[in-house]
């Protein structure tokens, strides 16, 4: 592992515990920015972003894949809606929550985006364009939910602009999913995650720990003349006193096999526990592929 999110010069030392994920039934397409595996109607599934080329984010969509091996998945279904990317899943009050980012063309011919949330989705017949129970503010990605010890709902946000610069993390607590809306999300105060000048980041998945604190799986990012740099980081957040533990880099691109692309990007999707003090991190790689890596549990 590297010591800094920005130390990404070598791609020649992948971990023995890391591998690329094979996706069957989508030949010629890119599958990346995946979720961790989750259970649905007795099946182990994974959701991922699908694109036919690397520069067509407005034409991306989401696919659901069925696990066929430790690092192989077969296409189950592809949603017909386009302009959807970066899915995420969680469980809130025994409800499966599926979220994703919707991209769209703005009036100024730019690209806008917002986050959509679906509760107990029918993954066989889901209309992702018309059925969200909540929609996040325009221009905000990386909104994640976690059920707290008192059964309230913690919401991590990513503010930009005058308050958040290129992207800083906020947090708020809601009483129910009915309170999840643009206003409550926008009003979330920032938490003290120490991004440096020129860095930004957001929460990709959040996990309730036994002591009531929250384990946050995140990305940290920057850009320079060599391109974008994304690494996976983690921290523990105490929602009672808004205290953040020092963030730790848990995976960088050089920890994974080279694959077909060397872009310095790890976009974490989620963790699964292995029962031995280790977890498997599932992530998108290089904005084109996906991989997994076994690491020590960052929240122990």
Where are the domains positioned within the chain?
18-296
Which residues fall within 8 angstroms of residue 225, CB to CB, at 6 or more apart? Answer: none
Place of tokens 């929550």: 97
Q: Is the dihedral of CA 39, 40, 44, 47 positive or negative?
A: negative
User: What does the alpha-carbon distance between residue 300 and residue 288 come to, in Å, rounded to a whole number?
Assistant: 31
Closest CA relative to residue 249, chosen from 233, 267, 265: 233
The per-residue pLDDT for 12 is 45
The per-residue pLDDT for 88 is 98
Q: What is the pTM of this model?
A: 0.93
Tokens standing for 116?
């959509």
**Separation of first and last alpha carbons in the chain:** 18
CA dihedral (82, 290, 297, 140) in degrees, to 10, reads: -30
201 burial via Cβ count (<10 Å: 0-12, 13-18, 19+): buried
User: What does the alpha-carbon distance between residue 102 and residue 133 come to, in Å, rounded to a whole number?
Assistant: 14
The per-residue pLDDT for 19 is 96
Q: What radius of gyration do the chain's Cα atoms show?
A: 18
The per-residue pLDDT for 81 is 84
The per-residue pLDDT for 13 is 57
CATH class, domain 18-296, is mainly beta
pLDDT per residue, tens digit, the chain (300 aa), is: 333 333 333 344 567 799 999 999 999 999 999 999 999 999 999 999 999 988 777 889 999 999 999 899 999 999 888 899 999 999 999 999 999 999 999 888 889 999 999 999 989 887 777 789 999 999 999 999 999 999 999 999 999 988 888 999 999 999 999 999 999 999 999 999 999 989 999 999 999 999 999 999 999 999 999 999 999 999 999 999 999 999 999 999 999 999 999 999 999 999 999 988 999 999 999 999 999 999 999 999
CA dihedral (36, 111, 116, 186) in degrees, to 10, reads: 110
User: What does the alpha-carbon distance between residue 166 and residue 198 come to, in Å, rounded to a whole number?
Assistant: 7
Which residues fall within 8 angstroms of residue 198, CB to CB, at 6 or more apart? Answer: 166, 222, 223
| Residues 82/59, Cβ–Cβ less than 8 Å | yes
The per-residue pLDDT for 7 is 31
CA atoms within 13 Å, Cβ hemisphere of 138: 6
């Amino acid at each position: 592992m590297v010591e800094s999110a920005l130390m990404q010069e070598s791609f020649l030392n992948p971990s023995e515990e890391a591998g690329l994920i094979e996706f069957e039934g989508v030949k010629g397409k890119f599958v990346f920015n995946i979720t961790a595996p989750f259970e649905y109607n007795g099946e182990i599934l994974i959701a991922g972003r699908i694109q036919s080329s690397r520069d067509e984010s407005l034409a991306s969509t989401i696919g659901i894949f069925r696990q066929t091996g430790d690092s192989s998945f077969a296409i189950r279904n592809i949603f017909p809606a386009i302009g959807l990317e970066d899915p995420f899943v969680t469980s809130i009050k025994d409800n499966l929550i599926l979220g994703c980012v919707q991209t769209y063309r703005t009036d100024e011919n730019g690209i806008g985006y917002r986050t959509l949330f679906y509760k107990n989705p029918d993954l066989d017949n889901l209309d992702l364009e018309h059925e969200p129970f909540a929609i996040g503010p325009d221009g905000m990605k990386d909104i994640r939910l976690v059920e707290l010890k008192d059964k309230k709902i913690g919401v991590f946000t990513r503010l930009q602009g005058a308050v958040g610069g290129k992207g800083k993390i906020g947090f708020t607590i809601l009483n129910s999913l009915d309170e999840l809306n643009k206003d409550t999300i926008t009003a979330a105060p920032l938490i003290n995650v120490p991004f440096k000048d020129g860095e930004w980041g957001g929460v990709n998945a959040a996990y309730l720990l036994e002591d009531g604190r929250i384990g946050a799986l995140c990305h940290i990012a920057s850009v320079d003349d060599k391109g974008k740099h994304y690494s996976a980081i983690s921290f523990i957040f105490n929602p009672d006193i808004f205290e953040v533990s020092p963030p730790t880099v848990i995976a960088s691109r050089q920890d994974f096999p080279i694959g077909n692309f060397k872009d310095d990007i790890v976009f974490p999707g989620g963790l699964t526990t292995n029962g031995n003090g280790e977890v498997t991190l599932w992530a998108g790689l290089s904005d084109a592929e996906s991989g997994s890596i076994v690491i020590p549990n960052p929240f122990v």
